[in-house]
Amino acid sequence: MTQSDFIGLEEIEAARDRIASTIRQTPVNLSDTLSRIAGVPVHLKLEHLQHTGSFKLRGAANAVARLSDTERSAGVVGVSTGNHGRGLAHAAKAAGVRCVICMSRLVPQVKVDGIRALGAEVRIVGRSQDEAQAEVDKLVADGMTMIPPFDHPSVIAGQGTLGLEIVDQVPDVETVVVPLSGGGLIAGVAAACKAINKDIRIIGITMERGAAMIASLEAGQPVEVEELPTLADSLGGGIGLFNRLTFAMTRDLVDETYLINEAQIATGMRHAYWQERQIVEGSGAVGIAAVIAQKFKPKGPIALILSGGNVDMEQHFRVIGGEDVDLMKEVA
């Protein structure tokens, strides 16, 4: 795959127009505290305030909008660690399309309940996203259309609209820090930002427990990793051994990637709440955590994407209260 095959600016701009009535343009706040730590302005892109509580609605809405009449009548299905399922359920309901979401038992109940509340059918299968994907494959064989959480051109283009917004809202941005999982968000944001300004630095942040994309980048090809309980549960899951787009786009367009541990994720969540007055799930707080831990050297204005806020509130209460929440021990 060459860069000429990547999702481009024209596709992302078309997605922005297509989903404009479905999503909201989320605000950007300047963080005084993080700016002092970094020594440069740090802007928070408050995407956790998106409808459905995460960026995933953008890609799902774009993909649903592009369905044919035949595909609409058959319905859509997807695998999710929570936020993609919620976005897809919302977009499908708005379009009057049947939606089935397959999830593993590791997905928090709050996310399962949120998806069901939007009218989607939820199927809980196995203890990994790969096992849940097997159920998706069965439904596709029966005629439904799969809309995957990240490795899909319409999904990537939809997520890329976040990059367009960031450049509009922070014109002098030098570094964009993006939560990294399957790569749909970071691929789209990187494609948009670098098409506008090739010098914008893209940094991906993910958790130590089950960092599938980083393991794949290190191996030079998609690999499987064990999924483990983590505060950043939305970043869990593999990238797919037959990944078509996001692996190559992440490899070629992302400048740096960093791992953070569970304690650092908790610090990011606490900072978001106590200093920024924002309720952010662990996956959405990884950028804040990376700045506080000084994982990278800032070179200019930074934009951090707070990607989701669909957190179990009991867990959030424990974390912001200072409790050492180790989900690995609790599952054991």
DSSP letter for each residue of 13-73: HHHHHHHTTTS----EEE-HHHHHHHTS-EEEE-GGGSGGGBTHHHHHHHHHHT--HHHHH
The rounded distance, in Å, linking the Cα atoms of 32 and 276 is 9
CATH class for the region spanning 57-146? alpha beta
- Give the residue extent of every domain in the chain: 3-54+152-331, 57-146
Same fold, 3-54+152-331 and 57-146: yes
The rounded distance, in Å, linking the Cα atoms of 290 and 278 is 17
CATH hierarchy code of domain 3-54+152-331: 3.40.50.1100
pLDDT at res. 127: 85
The three-state secondary structure class of 95 is helix
User: For residue 223, how far is the Cα from the chain centroid?
Assistant: 19
Per-residue pLDDT of the chain (332 residues; tens, 9 = 90+): 667 689 999 999 999 999 999 999 999 999 999 999 999 999 999 999 999 999 999 999 999 999 999 999 999 999 887 889 999 999 999 999 999 999 998 888 888 998 999 999 999 999 887 789 899 999 999 999 999 999 999 999 999 999 999 999 999 999 999 999 999 999 999 999 999 999 999 999 999 999 999 999 999 999 999 889 999 999 988 899 999 999 999 999 999 999 999 999 999 999 999 999 999 999 999 999 999 999 999 989 999 999 999 999 999 999 999 999 989 888 65
Query: pTM of this prediction?
Result: 0.94
Cβ atoms within 10 Å, residue 294: 11
